[in-house]
Amino acid sequence: MNYDLNRVKALVDEIFAQIVALRRQLHRYPELSEHEENTSRLVCDQLSALGIPYRDHIAGYGVTGTIYGRDRGKAVGIRADMDALPISEKADVPFRSQNPGVMHACGHDMHTAILLGTAAVLSKLQNELPYSVRLFFQPSEETIGGARQMIEAGCLEEPATGIVIGLHVDPSLEAGCVQFKAGAMNAASCEFYVTVKGISCHGAHPAAGLDPLLPACEMVMSMQSIITRRLPATDSALITVGQLHSGTKNNIIPAESSFSGIIRTMKNEQRQYLKEQVTEVCQNIARSAGTTCEIKFRDSYPALVNDEALYELMTVAAADVLGKDKVKISNTASLGCDDFAYFCYSSRGLYYDLGTAKPGQTDAAPLHSDMFCPDEEAIRTGILTEAAGVLKIMEEMQNGK
């Protein structure tokens, strides 16, 4: 298979303005995880306009589309997540969010628009594709892990999709650039919830009760020593406490205090060990204070590990279409989490970062910020790299690799 990158670039140029307008529409009307009804409908309308058959209402509001190549039984997949965040937008743009308290602050509007653009390009090349292309428009990345639910619903089947690629916007990189990380890229995580129970009493007579707040505070502090003293110093892991709640009035010692947070580690097998250590620390402190504690865990996403062969193919494809100077290589993993990791365990997966900072900009608002405002030129780069990547992968598949 010999694919013409100049033709791919010309096709991207043809649709670029349309995809930017589509992204702005998505940005203007963001929807939270598990509520992506209108976003899903827009995606379906766009696929229909392109003549791409689809299935909707998968794992909630998920959508899959299929561009059938000559081999209708085997496909390469591309994933985009669709959900927004509970953030009130402050970015001063004419297409700012019209849904109060909801914003595409993680760039999933960009992801969705880029995948629709890639679909438009690859559908024009449909008769030349040796294999099919599977499009995954995924809900609920920010909450319940829509990727896992879509996979469990059979989205990798018929056609059999043994390879999936995806991208995520990154405001620390300039627009026009992409960045790849070999091997482990993102962390496995586990949320925890701790309730310390004591005995309520008047604040003037603490001996009449049993204060749960003091051991709760000691637990929060002591958990940090798990990372620094119970793990090898070369391992990357974090324990973050994000919430602590206690009491109803200044002069009352409460009956219970609670806090919650998240464990992150680059090693899946280390997650269980850290849960055991958190349990031991909290129970021992509670016991020494005469209180009791209840601890609950909820495993989140596994570590995201990129396929080695896909890493090699995608870096070459990106350099071919963008130029080598626009392809960055990272040697540092992120302790952030992404449910694309489920695709990496159910198929061969490759995830990469898409720069969104304006050229020369050093103060771009970070992800999950109410001021997040990506350079829309990144949409062009995203479509180019997804399309070129799929074509490169298919070329290697034909060679039996």
Active site residues: 301, 376
Burial (CB count within 10 angstroms: exposed 0-12, middle 13-18, buried 19+), residue 297:
middle
Q: Specify the amino acid at residue 203.
A: G
Do the bridges between strand 348-357 and strand 184-186 make them parallel or antiparallel, or are there none, so unpaired? Answer: unpaired
Q: In what order do the strands lie in the sheet with 237-246?
A: 237-246, 256-265, 188-197, 292-299
Contact present, 369 and 184 (Cβ < 8 Å)? no
Rounded Cα gap, residues 159 and 74, in angstroms: 5
Q: Specify the amino acid at residue 61.
A: Y
Q: Specify the amino acid at residue 395.
A: E
What are the tokens at 318? 């990106």
In this structure, the dihedral spanned by the alpha carbons of residues 278, 284, 287 and 291, taken in order and rounded to 10 degrees, is -30
Return the number of other C-beta atoms located less than 10 Å from residue 184's C-beta: 19
